[in-house]
Each structure stands twice: as structure tokens, then as C-alpha cells.
Amino acid sequence: MEVGIIGGGASGIMTAIIAARNGHHVTILEHNNRIGKKILATGNGRCNFTNMDMNTSFYHGEDVTFAGKILNQYNHLDTIRFFTELGLYSKNKNGGLYPYCEQASAVLDVLRMEAARLHIHLIVEVHVTDIKKEDRFCVSCQDAKHNMKKLFFDKVVIAAGSQASNVQGSDGSGYELLKKLGLTVRKPLPALVQLQSDETYFKSVSGIRCDARLKLLVDQQVIHNERGELQLTAYGISGIPVFQLSSEAARALDEKKEVRVVIDFMPDLESVDDMKLFLENRIRQNPEKICEELFLGLFHKNIGQLLLKLCGIRGNVKSISLTPEQCTDLSKRIKQFDVPISATNPFDQAQTCSGGLKTSELSETLEVKKIKGLYVTGELIDIDGACGGYNLQWAWSSGMVAGNQI
């Protein structure tokens, strides 16, 4: 049987390998000049390819239970076994699995070697413009010289990926193919991405990193909590905990809801009252210190100056002169630093997308319900994961499911 895979990213390569192992003739049609380019950018070039802590709480989507149905068929242990058999030795770093050399190229290399061993046909620098189903599938495409050609397949997998990342060819054209086929796509939005704020004070703390706890509030309701290394930027906030909030933040912003992130700069203390008691004890122990010196060893100097400024407290006055009300205000700023969010950074800075093909269009084998023989995998589906190998695991699992069903 002739199988056409549109897209040579993680899920497309996995689908191709599994289908080829099952005895089919497989062709990958890839927009770039080689397959797997996005894999090289994952995990800051180290490729966190799965995670030992795997459940649907790490995924988002209109129907996140669908992710569980796919992951239950092929999970992280199947992924580890698959790559071990290809000769990739891995290391566990706090639950995240990386190639032992911590180079994403190792993951891509073993996939390319297996694809070559299985004689998977690669057609690169080709753009698919249309898919029609008659007796067989007719795939219309255009090569780098703008020549049009038609290819015919018994089964087709759309694994074209999203427009997230700055990798050339990440243009979101797969969504247009889905729409041409009459399928319903939930609006794609940037995910695992930085968040912007219109507050001007961020320029004074740009580039600072610190441990913090973050709460995402949508229309004043707490939606998500994260703790980790926060990065303050000239435009707003970044870092892993921000990325983990960003999918829900992006969806809420698109729905014109109020989005705020509350930062706790002292997460080891439970409450504002605890923070106030801590400050008062610190002042009593060092009555000669000026307010600017009050945060030495706690925060970056610029954060301390910003907190004082927002509370209307001069940095050069003695801390012993602070009133109880000023101590309370300062404690609230430290524990409940309120940031209004105005936007996310654009798609080219996002690691993945929220949204995509509605899962109601798919069976649990990832076959399109109304077009037999057509499958969709990976980022194009309305499932996106947290940082930590979850999006690659979704790619591997969806590729394994589709490949075995074929």
C-alpha cells in the first residue's frame, strides 16, 4: 500500500517509520530541505524527548480527555523503548528524558537512519496545495522551481505541524489543508510563549531572573499556578513558569477576557502576614539600614528599588522609619505583584500552538471520521502540552497510533 505523509516533523517521521515497519511503501513530503528541523530546536537544542511523569494534567485542549485516549495506546515507556532499540541511550533529569549526549541532533540522526533503513522515500522542498479523495488520494504539490505535480496514495497522513517557532517552513499551511477538506479547526494561538504587559516599569528590571511563584487569573479567577525561574523582560515576563501559563492566557486574551499574572517574589513564605513579620524582624535586627538596603541578599537591587518606588517609599530613608501600613503595602507588593497581561509574543517566538483540528473530527485511531484513509497527527490537532517533553511525546504517541492503524 502507498502511504503519503505530509510533513517530516516528529509525528510525521514516527508515523512513516511505524507504517513502513508494517510493510507499506511510505513517502514523506516535506516543505524544508530536510526532515526534522524543528526537532533540532527542542529543549534548547538538547531535546527533552519525553517525561517520566506523564498524564493529561500536562495537556490543554477543548477536549483534553482525547489526549489520554491516544497516550493510553502508546505512552512514554513505549517511546523510551522505541529510541533504545534505535541505539539512543537516554538520561533522566528530574523526570525529563534527554539523549545522553544532550544533543537534539542525536534524536534526529537515529530517526533519519531508521527511515533510510526502511527505504522511506523523502521528497523535500515541496509544498502541498491540495488533497482530494476519489478512489485514491490525489495530492497536489509544488516544488522549489514552482513546478506542479500530482501524487497518488492509498492512505494519507497530514502531519504538517503548526506555525509556531522561527524554523523556516513553519507556516501553518496544514490548517489550510484541513479547512479545504471541510474540517473544523479551532483557532490556533501561540503557546509556550512569553507574555507581554503594557506596564512601563519592566524596562527597569529587564534581564533579571529570580525564583518566583506565579498565579494566572482570568476574569479574576485563579486558573493556574506555577513556580520556577521567572525572567523579567522589557516587554513583560518570560521563563518556564510563564510558558506553562501561556496556553490558557492566550486563549483567554483571544476571548477578550481580563488576564493578569500575580507574582510572588518570596514563595518560601506562606502569606502576606508572614512576609510582613519577616520584614519587621529584619528591620529590628538592622535598624540603621536604609530602605534600599533592606532587600540585600533577597532580591536583585533593581527589583528592590522597583518595589519601593511602587509603594511610594524613598530608598534612602532609614527602614526603622517605615510605618506598619507601609510594611503591609510593601509585603503585598512582594507577595502579590499584580501584572496585567496585554498579549503574547508572536508565533515565531512560540514553541508550540494552542488550538488546531477539533478532536471530535477524529476517531481514536486518528483517522478522520468523514474521510476514510486520511489521518492527522501531532501539532495540527487541538492538543498542546506543557514544557518538559510533553509536546514531543504527543508527536510520538500520535505517530505510533496512526502508523499502526495504517
Same domain, 258 and 292: yes
Same domain, 164 and 15: yes
Same domain, 39 and 178: yes
Tell which of 301, 319, 344 closes a domain. 344
Q: What is the grid cell recorded at 49?
A: 524527548
Least Cα distance to 400 among 159, 188, 161 occurs for 159
Tell which of 320, 344, 368 closes a domain. 344
Partners of 137 in the beta sheet? 133, 153
Range of the domain at 381: 2-191+348-405
Beta-sheet strands, E only, within 32-179: 50-51, 59-60, 90-93, 96-99, 121-123, 126-133, 137-143, 148-153, 155-158
pTM, two decimals, is 0.94
One digit per residue, pLDDT tens: the chain, 406 residues? 999 999 999 999 999 999 999 999 999 999 999 999 999 988 889 999 999 999 999 999 999 999 999 999 999 999 999 999 999 999 999 999 999 999 999 999 999 999 999 999 999 999 999 999 989 999 999 988 889 999 999 999 999 988 888 666 678 889 999 999 999 999 999 999 999 999 999 999 999 999 999 999 999 999 999 999 999 999 999 999 999 999 999 999 999 999 999 999 999 999 999 999 999 999 999 888 999 999 999 999 999 999 999 999 999 999 999 999 999 999 999 999 999 999 999 999 999 999 999 999 999 999 999 999 999 999 999 999 999 999 999 999 999 999 999 9
Same domain, 167 and 217: no
Same domain, 162 and 66: yes
Same domain, 169 and 115: yes
Same domain, 183 and 61: yes
What is the count of structural domains for the chain?
2
Helix segments in 255-406, DSSP class H: 272-285, 301-310, 324-335, 390-405
Same domain, 22 and 164: yes
